[in-house]
Amino acid sequence: MLGETTRDRRQERREATKNEILEAAWDMAREGGLASLSLRDLARRVGMSAPSLYGYFDSKMAIYDAMFGQGAQQYLEYARNRPRSGDPLEELQLGMRNFVAFCTEDPVRYQLLFQRPIPGFEPSPESYAPSIEGLALVRQQLADAGLTDQKALDLLTAIGNGLADQQISNDPGGDRWTRLVDDAMEMLFDHMTKKATKARGRTKK
């Protein structure tokens, strides 16, 4: 059949082990912070010696890179599968709820994807690709809702970033800031339509 090839059991096993290593890496990062990841501890956690990890990843940075790729892929799916609405305001609210939920659901993932706290780490083009695709998708979703003004988009990202950040930093596990999402989006929406009206006025004059 087209695109199908013989199953390579060796390769499958190898991928499974890589995933097992990455899962353990996420666990470690969630416990002690991203920077706390050490190859010794990681190896012990998956039941092998530290040098054996090099059979699966070229370096510690390669592990961070793979984690970044997983996170970006997860975000892409999050953005693809979220509920949609025909109403622009509701669409804005659903989109932002989705974003903030994604961020607060796993603070370490948020940190890795959006805050770049690892000195010297830059994601490779391969790992970055789904991230770009995700951003393009969100941008398209917003455009569908009639949101194309760059300043409004910048303000939107600032609000989203700020809500997620405050929630994670100052009320982890709670909802002190996440509950403000709908209200904040209503505020932004009102503000945009008000400015759009004024702008039309100026144009017609």
Partner DNA sequence: GTCTATATTTGGATAGAC
Partner DNA sequence: GTCTATCCAAATATAGAC
Contact call for residue 85 and its own copies (CB under 8 A): no
103, interface contact from DNA, its own copies, none, CB < 5-8 Å by kind: none
Given candidates 16, 50, 187, 196, which one binds its own copies under the rule CB under 8 A? 187
The tokens 């470690």 sit on which residue?
28
User: Could you tell me which residues come within 8 angstroms of residue 106 by beta carbon, excluding any fewer than 6 positions away?
Assistant: 30
Contact call for residue 183 and its own copies (CB under 8 A): yes
| Cβ contact 71:113 at 8 Å | yes
Other beta carbons less than 10 A from residue 78's beta carbon: 16
Given candidates 13, 191, 198, 200, which one binds its own copies under the rule CB under 8 A? 191
Q: Which residues bind DNA (CB under 7 A)?
A: 10, 14, 17, 37-41, 43, 47-52, 54-56, 59-61
Q: Which of residues 18-57 bind its own copies (CB under 8 A)?
A: 32-33, 35-36
101, interface contact from its own copies, DNA, none, CB < 5-8 Å by kind: none
CB of 44 to its own copies, least distance (A): 20
Q: Where are the alpha helices (DSSP H) in 56-106?
A: 60-81, 88-105
Other beta carbons less than 10 A from residue 90's beta carbon: 16
CB of 81 to its own copies, least distance (A): 25
The upper half-sphere exposure of residue 188, i.e. CA atoms within 13 Å in the direction of its Cβ, equals: 25
Which pair of structure tokens corresponds to residue 166? 């405050």
CB of 13 to DNA, least distance (A): 7
User: Could you tell me which residues come within 8 angstroms of residue 67 by beta carbon, excluding any fewer than 6 positions away?
Assistant: 22, 25, 26, 29, 112
- 19 versus 148: smaller Cβ distance to its own copies: 148
158, interface contact from DNA, its own copies, none, CB < 5-8 Å by kind: its own copies
CA dist list (Å): 111 to 7, 68, 165: 37, 10, 9
Residues that bind its own copies (CB under 8 A): 32-33, 35-36, 115-117, 119, 151, 154-155, 157-163, 165-166, 169, 176-177, 180, 183-184, 186-188, 190-191, 194
